[in-house]
Structure formats: C-alpha cells, structure tokens
Amino acid sequence: MTPAALLLTGTVGSGKTTTAHALGVVLQAAGVPHAVVDLDALRDAWPSPPDDPFHERLELANLRDVARNHRAAGAVRLVLAGVLEDPAHRGLYEDAVGVPLTVCRLRPDLTVVADRLQVRHAGDEPALDWHLHRSSELDAILHSAGIGDVVVDVRAHDEPAAVAAAVARAVGWS
C-alpha cells in the first residue's frame, strides 16, 4: 500500500477531529496501519506571534516530526484534522507529512455548526461569540478559495461513522 495522508479541513465545528477519529476506526477495521493527528494540538501554545496568529509555523514544524515518527512506526495512512485556509499553503503541509496529501473539506450546514458551538462553549460567552463569528467567516473563506480536492457534505443527523465512510469513498480509501 502506497503511503498517503489526508487532511480533513472545514470551518470550526464542522466535525474535523470527530471524523478523523471515526476514519481511524474504519482504517483499523480494515487492518490499515495509520495515525490520527489533531493539528490543533500541534499548535496549542500561547502567545502566538503577531504575524502568525494561528501558529501555523509551529504546527508545520511539529507536524514534520510527528509525521516522520508515525511513518517510522509503520503508519501508511496519516489522517490529519485541521484548517487549511490558504490554498498556497497546501504544499507546506504535503512537504511536512512527506507523502502525497489529499485535502477533504467537510461542508456542514452552518446551523448545525452553531448548535455544536453552543454546546461546546456553554458558559463562555466570549469564546462562543468568537467561534460563531469565525465559523461563518471561515466557511466563506474556504468556499471562495476552493479548498479541498474533494468536498463532503455533512448533514444535521449524520453519524461520525457515516461521514468517515463518505470521506473514505471520496478519497479512494474504502
């Protein structure tokens, strides 16, 4: 099996991390050596530089090492969950993982995203307000930039396993 990576991207609350873990279950059931990497965890540091507010440089530096270590441990599929906002940066991610990269944008109904964010940020109004604003802003950015080699629609009642199966079919991993 040829090593490959998949970056699940989408707006905040679109289900990137949940889908990545569900896809990991699909790959495990199929006997495919893999790793699931949440890119948010690789850039979770404070403060971020003024010229890199989402710590992309830190994320990429960490991804390079994490991907190399997972490949050395036998992973032939890398499933990444994170935001690729600028299509010009796609090559940076492919270079960091060291294998061919497919980008799949999850396209959710924004009312579903708002519901998820209400639950996720209950009791933290400033965070809720920021994420609600960012979700529609980022969704528009991803749409207008044409992000994604493939796009998978996520409906209100889709279970993570169903979304993962749709992603696997869309990228030829099923």
Nearest Cα residue to 156 out of 112, 90, 120, 116: 112
Question: What number of other Cβ atoms are within 10 A of residue 155's Cβ?
Answer: 11
Confidence (pLDDT) at 152: 98
Whether the upstream peptide bond of residue 47 has omega within 30° of 0, thus cis, is: yes
pLDDT band at 6 (very low <50, low <70, confident <90, very high): very high
Confidence (pLDDT) at 156: 80
Tell me which residue has tokens 């679109």: 14
List, for residues 27-41, the tens digit of each pLDDT value.
999 999 999 999 999
pLDDT > 90? residue 174: no
Helix (H) or strand (E) holding 34: strand 34-38
Tell me which residue has tokens 């991993």: 173
List, for residues 113-159, the tens digit of each pLDDT value.
999 999 999 999 999 999 999 999 999 999 999 999 999 999 888 99
Report all structural domains of the chain as residue ranges with CATH numbers, in order of start.
4-171 (3.40.50.300)
Could you tell me if residue 172 is left (phi over 0), alpha (psi between -120 and 50 degrees) or otherwise beta?
left
Confidence (pLDDT) at 83: 97
**Residue 107 has which token pair?**
């396209």
Nearest Cα residue to 106 out of 130, 84, 128: 84
Tell me which residue has tokens 């209950």: 122
List, for residues 43-99, the tens digit of each pLDDT value.
999 999 999 999 999 999 999 999 999 999 999 999 999 999 999 999 999 999 999
pLDDT > 90? residue 9: yes
Confidence (pLDDT) at 71: 98
Task: Return d(Cα 163, Cα 144) in angstroms, integer.
Answer: 23
Q: What is the DSSP letter of 1?
A: -
